[in-house]
Amino acid sequence: MSRDVQCQLCPKRCVIPPGMAGDCRVRMNLDGKLTAVTYGHPVAVHVDPMEKKPLFHFLPGSPVFSVATTGCNLHCTHCQNWEISQAAPHEVPAYDLPPDEVVRLAQAKGCEAIAYTYTEPIVFYEYTYDTSAAARAAGLRNVLVTAGYINPGPFRRLCKVTDAAIIDLKAMSDAHYRQTCGATLAPVLDTLRIAVEEGVWVEVLNLIIPTLNDDPRLIEALVRFVREELGPQVPLHFTGFHPDYQLRNLPPTPTETLLRARQVGLEAGLEQVFVGNRRGGAAESSWCPGCGALLIERVGFRVLQRRLRVGEDGAGSCPDCGRAIAGVWA
């Protein structure tokens, strides 16, 4: 007779009865064995600009092969990909694409990296891990686009095959995580600390939602966390909310709110703070924190101009004052 199994992957630690799935809907108890049923079956496969992830200081301007299966261990009321993130595997048509095939396609499309993205790569952990290992062996790099809700053990293991991560920090408020996302704050902070410690290139994303997490004290606390616990060189993206899914009663984030948050970050000593999902003018580009010179000019997901100097060792620096600019450039 089959028995319950417990998933130890994320802090929810679901106890799953036979034939049922955990809270993310994709990790199932099949005959007493915990099985990630979306393994090898992505529902979204695209080539994106790296800037769309958004990663601004990691291989700027390069195409990144992007895959996602269904499922997520968060349930954000404002999710923009809810048709696939909140769906059960049988509800969305999927491709049959084993890890080696993902790598082959990425190479055929001229991509230097593969992104695990759109939904939550943590819940399709084994597929993410195996594809990342195969990509590494083929000389490609790996990018995680994640909300970071995972236990430390499996995350450290995944970091060994991950080159860059854009990690969503939804607010420095446990209440916000519980009420808006069905999760908690502390594990996400641990994930951010671990990613930096493990040498993954990290950028942080904060989606500002009017009335829910736009309190200036929350923005200040978030900026302080990034500066003091991750480092001033870690880029921070403030992005604008669009009404979607279950949260259609709130207005889009005013551009001024995003620009004000950016100013708070810069005044606190963060070196790179960006505005996203809005035309942000200068706030979409990278500037030298030393002399203020333009380093990389962007509009939306497009790189218009690249003045950054990259040495033979791959290190970036300002072409005007020579200051080192953190990032993965080559």
Give the residues lining the site for ligand SF4 (CB under 6 A): 7, 9-10, 12-14, 22-24, 27, 73, 123
CB of 318 to ligand SF4, least distance (A): 43
- Which two structure tokens, joined as six digits, stand for 181? 């996302």
CB of 202 to ligand SF4, least distance (A): 21
CB of 248 to ligand SF4, least distance (A): 26
> CB burial class (10 A; 0-12, 13-18, 19+) of residue 197?
exposed
d(CA 42, CA 154): 21
CB of 22 to ligand SF4, least distance (A): 2
Residue among 132 and 277 whose Cβ is closer to ligand SF4: 132
Residue among 12 and 141 whose Cβ is closer to ligand SF4: 12
Residue among 187 and 327 whose Cβ is closer to ligand SF4: 187
- 73-102 CB burial, b ≥16 within 10 A, e <16: bbbbbbbebbebbbbebeebebeebebeeb
CB of 120 to ligand SF4, least distance (A): 9
Which candidate, 24, 165, 22, places its Cα nearest to that of 86? 24
Strand order in the sheet with 286-287: 286-287, 294-299, 302-306
Residue among 24 and 50 whose Cβ is closer to ligand SF4: 24
CB of 16 to ligand SF4, least distance (A): 6
Instruction: Report the DSSP pairing between strands 33-36 and 27-30.
Output: antiparallel
Which candidate, 114, 101, 131, 134, places its Cα nearest to that of 58? 114
Tokens 């955990």 belong to 22
Residue among 75 and 136 whose Cβ is closer to ligand SF4: 75
Residue among 74 and 192 whose Cβ is closer to ligand SF4: 74
Residue among 26 and 115 whose Cβ is closer to ligand SF4: 26
| 209 in Cβ contact with 219 (< 8 Å) | no
CB of 34 to ligand SF4, least distance (A): 8
Instruction: Mention every residue, 6+ apart, whose C-beta is less than 8 A from residue 137.
Output: none
Residue among 109 and 178 whose Cβ is closer to ligand SF4: 178
CB of 103 to ligand SF4, least distance (A): 24
CB of 10 to ligand SF4, least distance (A): 3
Is 262 strand, coil or helix? helix
Query: Which stretches of the chain are DSSP H helices?
Result: 82-85, 99-108, 125-137, 152-159, 174-176, 186-197, 216-225, 255-267
| 118 in Cβ contact with 166 (< 8 Å) | no
DSSP per-residue letters across 50-103: GGGTT-SSBSTT-EEEEEE-S--S---TT-TTHHHHTS-GGGS------HHHHH
- Which two structure tokens, joined as six digits, stand for 68? 């996602």
Residue among 123 and 223 whose Cβ is closer to ligand SF4: 123
